[in-house]
Amino acid sequence: MATPPAQDPRRTLTLRDVSEASGVSEMTVSRVLRNRGDVSEATRERVLQAARTLGYVPNKIAGALASQRVNLVGVVIPSLSNMVFPEVMTGISEVLEDTGLQPVVGVTNYAPDREEAVIYEMLSWRPTGLIVAGLEHSPAARAMLAQAGVPIVEIMDIDGTPVDSAVGISHRRAGRQMAEAIIAAGYRRIAFLGTQMPNDHRAKKRLEGFEEALAKAGLTLADREFYSGGSALLKGREMTEAVLARSPDVDFLYYSNDMIGAGGLLYCLEKGLDVPGKIGLAGFNGVELLDGLPRRLATMDACRLEIGRRAAEIIAGQPHQGVVGGEVIELFPTLQPGDTIRR
């Protein structure tokens, strides 16, 4: 404890070590490292040199406590593995890049209690803002978000009441639009294939909108199939096979996401089915993967990049501590008919 710092190479370095090594005060070192305040070029160089030599890394814990400022933005999302959230992250990172803010990801696996825990954990670091996927949260989670005192942006979905701000699309409307397009193309015996996820509220809303539009046209779903877990591509195949076996007369397959849709498409092509003549297919999301398939699956992009950008802008643009909020930004996805729906 009383030993001079130089003695023990394993001791963690502090500002004082750098200040002693460079012969200036801690204050000056701090100024240099933060690029703030007036420091002569010579002094600055000397300090940086010393810091580099020692291998000093500032302690943000202490810095944050002292400055009451944390350059972190929490991002709470259900999953990383379905190709949609990485793109949202890209949008967020792009915008945050030149603001000095830094995103930190938390994954909930579509479990409400996990989400609650992740939000709690995130808020305990007192971030500059929080971006959370979806509008549905446990009451406790909502309470924490409401109390947080920092901007909260709920993304992906706008069919509901946000705690603070929201950026997203209307999944209900998206479902409706797809149904309308399918009906307009002349398909009538339509099946829905989705993953079994009670907590994927957005997929559920799409289905609701979809059925709503069908009903308006006097139709109902000819069949539906749910599955969970495993490789989405493979599941898409299996589900498609099951549906076609059970309901050979369906003429359209609407998938809740592109991955299972892609599996279904591969299956149909393999079986030599006439796509989109005898049977049409559509997915949702507009993932890049689809570009490599033999035929382009009809889909609807979810504006993921843009959602990420806008959400980040709301956080970054927040005037210091001014709890404004209430902004709701609706984006409008476009339908990409691809090659799997008659025109």
Q: What residues line the site for a copy of itself (CB under 8 A)?
A: 10-13, 52, 54-55, 57-62, 64-65, 70, 80-81, 83, 86-87, 89, 93, 102, 104-105, 107, 120-121, 123-126, 140, 143-144, 146-149, 230-237, 262-263, 266, 270, 288-289, 291-294, 323
Least separation in angstroms between residue 235's CB and a copy of itself is: 8
Q: Considering beta carbons, is residue 26 or 339 the nearer one to DNA? A: 26
Q: Do you find a cis peptide bond into 127, omega within 30 degrees of 0?
A: no
Q: Is the dihedral of CA 193, 199, 205, 206 positive or negative?
A: negative
Least separation in angstroms between residue 218's CB and a copy of itself is: 35
- Does position 52 interact with DNA (CB under 7 A)? The reply is no
Q: Which of a copy of itself, DNA, none interacts with 160 (beta carbon under 5 to 8 A by kind)?
A: none
Q: Considering beta carbons, is residue 80 or 217 the nearer one to a copy of itself? A: 80
User: Any residues with CB less than 8 A from the CB of 238 and at least 6 apart, and which?
Assistant: 227, 263
**Pattern 210-239, DNA, x by CB under 7 A:** ------------------------------
> Could you tell me if residue 46 is left (phi over 0), alpha (psi between -120 and 50 degrees) or otherwise beta?
alpha
- Does position 65 interact with DNA (CB under 7 A)? The reply is yes
Burial 131-168 (b: 16+ CB within 10 A, else e): bbbbbbbeeebbebbeebebbbbbbbbbbeebbbbbbb
Which spans of this chain sit near DNA (rule: CB under 7 A)? 12-16, 24-30, 33-34, 36-40, 42-44, 58-59, 62-63, 65-69
